Amino acid sequence: MDTSSKRALVTGGSGDIGGAICRRLAADGLHVIVHANGNLARAQGVVDDIVVAGGGAQAVAFDVADGEATRAALEALLEGGPIQVVVNNAGVHDDAPMAGMSGAQWRRVIDVSLHGFFHVTQPLLLPMARRRWGRIVSVSSVAAVTGNRGQSNYAAAKAALHGASKSLAREMASRGISVNVVAPGVIAGSMADAAFPAEVVKQIVPAARAGTPEEVAALVGFLCSDDAAYINGQVIGINGGMA
C-alpha cells in the first residue's frame, strides 16, 4: 500500500531514538507526527529537520500517562485524517534497586511505558481496522528480556509490552494490522553514553560497540512497511548479540 498518504505517530519522538525513527519514517514517505511529553520546541526541531529534507511532519505535546489528555489530543489529530502507523517509543528511567525504590518511582515508569501504550494505541485501533491496514511498533529494551540491576520498574514496564503486543497482534491480524516490539540493547545517545563508557560496552556487548539510533530506526521502518506484513506478534532484539 502506498505510504505517501499515511500518517505516523511517534511518541517520545524528540529523543535520540525517537528522532531517528521520525526521520526514517518521513524518508519512507509518511507524514510524521512527532510527539513530546512537554518539550514542544525539541519536537519542532525534529519536524524542521524532516521538512528541510523534503518530508512532511508536525509536532504535538501531551503526557501519554494522562489518559484523558491523550484521548483529547488524539481526537484532534484524527480530525486531520487517519493515523495508520503508531510507534510507542515514550519511556522514562528512574533507576534504583527495588529494596530502595519508592512507590512513586515504580508507578511513574510503568505509567509512561505501559499505561501510555494503552492510552495511545487503544483509541486508534478501530479507525485503523476500518481501513484494514496498520502498523503498531513498540520500543522495549534488552532489560525486559534479560533483566538489569536497578531497573525492575523499567524491565517490568517494557516486558509487559511484549505480552500486550502478542495478544493485540492476535486480535488485529485479520484486519491487515501488525503489532510488533523492538528491544534495543545499548544504543548510542545522551542516555546511554553516560551510563555505559566505551570500555564497559566492549565487556557487555559481543559486537563490542553501541548500536546507533539509525540502526533501530531502520528496523522500525522495515516493520512499518508492506514488506513486513507477515511479521506479527514478534519481539525483535537489536542488541549486538547481548541476548
Residues 128-155 pLDDT 10s: 999 999 999 999 999 999 999 999 999 9
5 versus 95: which is more confidently predicted?
95
Distance of CA 174 to the CA centre of its chain: 23
Confidence category of residue 4, pLDDT binned at 50, 70, 90? low
For the record, the C-alpha cell of 27 comes out as: 524518508
Cα(118)–Cα(136) distance, integer angstroms? 12
Q: Annotated catalytic sites, by residue?
A: 154
Buried-exposed string 210-243: b where 16+ CB fall within 10 A, e elsewhere: bbebebbbebbbbbbbeebeeebbbbbbbbbebe
* Residue 220, pLDDT above cutoff 70: yes
Taking 90 as the threshold, does the pLDDT of residue 123 lie above it?
yes
Q: Is the pLDDT of residue 3 over 60?
A: no
Question: Within 13 Å of residue 203, how many CA atoms lie on the same side as its CB?
Answer: 5
List, in order of start, the domains of the chain with CATH numbers: 7-185+213-237 (3.40.50.720)
Residue 1 confidence (pLDDT) = 46
